[in-house]
Every structure is written in structure tokens, then in C-alpha cells.
Amino acid sequence: MQNVNAEQIRPHMPVVCSDGGQFATVDHTDVGDTIKLTKDEQGQHHWIPVSWVTRVDEHVHVDRPGQQAMQQWSSEEPAAAETASTRS
């Protein structure tokens, strides 16, 4: 797998799973190598690790099917991001 430059990941980019469908949209990248996703239909943010990303073009492509990604994403802000936001 190739290294992905997290700086290529931009807000509002579609996040596409390995089976080709969009399952989320980027809110922004967070400290700790995580990507914060925009709120879902229930108003909840989710986070995925940058390590899931296989490539970035006009989309952010991840290495797993959408259903698996949604089961494995985090619904809690990563500790590193919480620490950074409390310092601001």
C-alpha cells in the first residue's frame, strides 16, 4: 500500500469505500492522523484513521467496504483532538 499525504485531504471531499460507494464526507483532518467526517443524519460526527486511506484524488478512497467502515469508525473525538481543542 502506498503512503498517502494527509495534506491532500480537503474539507467536503467525498469518502468512498472499497466497493465504490460514498459513505461519508470529510469535515477536516484532525491531529493524531484522523479524519473528522461531517455530521450524519442523526447529527453525529465520526472519525476514521488516515491509515484506512488508500489514495486521494477528487475523492478520499478507503481500504474497506462502506458497511465495515461505518461499523468501525469512531463516534467519539480522539483524545489527541480533544487535547488540541482545549489548548486553543
pLDDT-based confidence at residue 82 (cuts at 50, 70, 90): low
Q: Are 34 and 62 in contact (CB under 8 A)?
A: no
- Collapse the DSSP code of 37 into the 3-class scheme (helix H, G, I; strand E, B; otherwise coil) and give the result: strand
15 within a domain of the structure (yes/no): yes
Three-point CA angle 59, 33, 75, nearest 5°: 80
Per-residue model confidence as pLDDT tens digits over 13-59: 999 999 999 999 999 998 779 999 999 999 999 999 999 999 999 99
87 within a domain of the structure (yes/no): no
76 within a domain of the structure (yes/no): yes
Q: Which residue segment(s) compose the domain that 27 sits in?
A: 6-82
Please give the tally of structural domains in the chain: 1
59 within a domain of the structure (yes/no): yes
Task: Please report, for the domain that includes residue 46, its CATH number.
Answer: 2.30.30.240
1 within a domain of the structure (yes/no): no
